[in-house]
Structures are given as structure tokens and as C-alpha cells.
Structure 1
């Protein structure tokens, strides 16, 4: 019969073997949010702490995320209005200053739009919203989608999705091609898998809605696409397809616009994203693909 001491020794050995057999999983990343609502401007932005690279990396990532969200608010301001705000708000470096800057910009944007309305301009129905969706939050990797919705006139809202993926060892913003081995033909495989989904969606539309839809145009992957990776090793590719300048495509009743596309400057100097002020619009499509299909090509 095994003695209590012997049983304890065996259990300790099993624990050590188990630890050696299964590597320690990456620790969870702390993600909090800064939420500010002022009138018609409602902004929620995430910020992190606890990255493997330390506080310096946390600050780098938080600054990148907050700067992007702030830039979306500034899209509805004129250049002069933006310069007025920035003259009293230097570029922040510490997290507390970043959050303060973001909060002040929300209030300033709301006041500026309201003041325009009192001057007789039709801005009463305008709004700016920003929310986010965390797809993966480990101390080594952070993937988040920033979703901005604005209405500044026209026939529909404008929706912009920006996915940001950070290597938290050094804080750099990753590109899609960095997920795969340098010599891997990941683009060809992605194009094939996305093509299957495109054709499947077209068949569903024809079958369920009875609509005739043209054959989907094959995509071309460059490695710089908007993407995210979730905790279940699913890869999401966010693509934009050009549409007619006079007939904007909609996503759930909204107009989708890639964040890289420049906005036209209108007579009052504002960088408006409104449909009736854009030279063209784009339709947003999201394709979810399992990274298990790339096990032989993956670098992460």
C-alpha cells in the first residue's frame, strides 16, 4: 500500500510532467474603456495595460488607438476648428493625458456641431458614434476593431471599421502578411477560400431573395488588408469593393467606407464623410476564415 508521503511525491511528479508537456498560455491582457457622451457625440474607446512589453508598449498601443479614434471625430470638423482645439491641447504622451484629450475632443466636437446648427446650418440630425470590439487580448497580442458611425447629411450613415493588431512584445502595428512565413503563398489560398464564400453568398441571395446578382469579382490579396484575429484562431478579412458613384452600396442600411479613402472638403472647410459629398463609396464585406487551414504556412 502506498504511503501518504509516496502518494504526495507521485502527484508532485505528475504535476511537473504536465507543466513540461503543456506550455504556459499567454496571460490575459487588461482592457478597460473610456466612455464619453456629450450631446450627439458618443465615443467609447479601449485602452490596455499588462502587455508583455511593459508600460512603454501599453502607452504606444493606447496612443495609436486613441489617435485613430480622435482622427475620426476630426473628420467632421473644419481645418480651422481642428487647429483651434489642438492649439490648447498638445499631443499627449501619458495615458491619463490621452484620455483627457479624447474626452475634451468629444465635448468640443459636440459643441462645434451644435454651434453650427444655431447659425442656421442643417446639423441638427448629425451624430458621431464610436464603439469597439476586442477580438483577442493576450499579453503578447492584441486585436481590436474600432467602429465609427457618422451622419453629416445625405441618404445614409457612414460606417468605418478599422481593425488594429499589435505585437505586444514591441508594440508595432502588424500587417496581414506578418502572420505567415515570408515564402508562403498565403495570398493564393486566401483568395481561393474567399472566392468560395463569395460564390456561396451570391447563391444564397439568388435563392432566398430571388434577386439576380452578378458573378462576384475575385479578390486580390496584397498582405496589407484590414484584418483581425480572434481567440479561436479565426482570421477575419475586411474588404471593400468599389460601387457606382451615384448608387452607394449599403451595409445594414449604412454606407461603408474604407478608412484609407480621402474625404472631400466642402465649402465650409469641413472634411465631411456624407454620402452626397463623396466622390464614391465602397461596400464592406467581412470574411471569416479559420487559421487551421493555414497551419503549414502560419508564422505566429
Structure 2
């Protein structure tokens, strides 16, 4: 499904950014209003060309984006925010994320430690966002424009600076609703360091469920019509990965061994849940198991005090 209308008739279009030239990996969501358009998620700097192309196909230019709402500041979700701000967009983000948009140097240094020489290829350029173009959002704050209102939901667990957004009966979930390939029923929780916090994550899922959405809009990837089943599957996934960490982190010989163990286990687990083997490379591209292994290791160490 590429588009739908909310309960009050607002049109939402999923824009496939074709991350690394592949479909179905990173989405932005376009919401038109009387004075232009709102975008939820910018995608990374490496997909700016794809975003421009998809906007042109819809009769829009980057300067028509008046409002950019970010679920969180990880580069796959927010890397192109500075570029869109240069086109005139106002950027909305969690208060904890705003300083890293204004000065992304620490964010980029942290990412570079993980991705090394692949930084530019994967994420492209990440420009700063001028402070005067940023609005921070707390839980329950509304972004209203052109007769459309979108409500921010504070949803930590994947990251402390994570928001979801509710538009009528549609919830835009960033990463807090996990990763799910198009036409698949398997939901995998991404657990990158440093902020994987499963208890807070479960409370965030309850917060989303309390909004009674009819649809979920996932950055990775697409529009889904089964919120209750999806959230239940994610809760099972969180239990499974936490149990795996408790059993396996202390047994691993080193970080490399841990990453190999988790990659093998996660692939086998996902296939047991019904994942099509052809979808596994997509999961690895946007939610690499070797990186989640580092988040699970940190989570386990924090549990030990």
C-alpha cells in the first residue's frame, strides 16, 4: 500500500527513498496541506536525489515542504533534515534530539565509530539545522497547519529522543514499532547502542496502542493495516531478543563472536516466524544484526549494574 486516507480524509503518501538503490527500505511520508506539504522523516543525505525525484513526480519541489517532522535523529531518519531546512522547512523534533541537529558533529563521530569507511556511502552529507528553524515537541504537543493536526507521542525505548506521530487514526512510528518488510508479517526490533531500553519500549508500545490507531506507518517500511497484531508481534520479538542477550552475552568470547552469534540466531528466529528468506538482506541493510548485538551487549551490562 503506497497511500491511504485518514479518518477525516487527509491523504498520506509513502515515498520510497530507494536506499542504496533498493526498494522497500526507507520511507518518508508526505501529507499535503493548503500551503504546501508536510514530510515525516527526511531520510539520510544519501537519498536526497531520490527524495527530489519522488517529489517532482508528485508535482512538488523541495521548497514546498513547509514542515519536517522527525521521529528521531538517527541518520537513516533525519540525515537530510539540514538540507530540507535550507529549502525552507521548519523542523520538529524531540528536545533531546534538537542539539544534535544544530551541531551534528557528535552524532557523526558516534556513527563513524560504527560504520567507518561506509559513512559517506550509506548516509551522505548531514548538514546542520539552524536553531531558529527548529521546534521541539513534548508528549501531546500538536503540529497544526492547513487544517491538519499531528500529535507528538513521546515513545522512548529504541532511543531516548524518540517521538511517534498520530494523525487521526494513523500512527507514524519511526523505529519504536520495529522493522517490517512490505508484505511481511514478521516484526524485528532494532536494538542499536546506546539507548536500547526494553521496559521503556514496552511502555511506549502501550502508549501507541492507547491511541487506537487503525494504521501504522513504518519508516522501515510502509503502511500496515493490523496494528494490534503488529504490536503483539513486536512484544514477542522484544522478549526473544532480551532472553537471547541474557543467555548469550556472557558466553561470547569477544565482540566479534557475539555479533556472529546474534546474526545467526536472529536470521534463524526471523525465518521461524515466517520471514521470507529473500527479505533477510533488506533487514540486514537497515537493521544490521551486528549493530544490534552491540546494543544488546550494552543492555546486558547495564542490567548487571
Give the TM-score taking structure 2 as reference length.
0.28
Comparing both chains, which one has the higher relative contact order based on Cα–Cα distances under 8 Å and sequence gaps of 6 or more? 1
Which structure features the higher share of helix residues? 2
Q: Say which one has the larger Rg.
A: 1
Give the TM-score taking structure 1 as reference length.
0.28
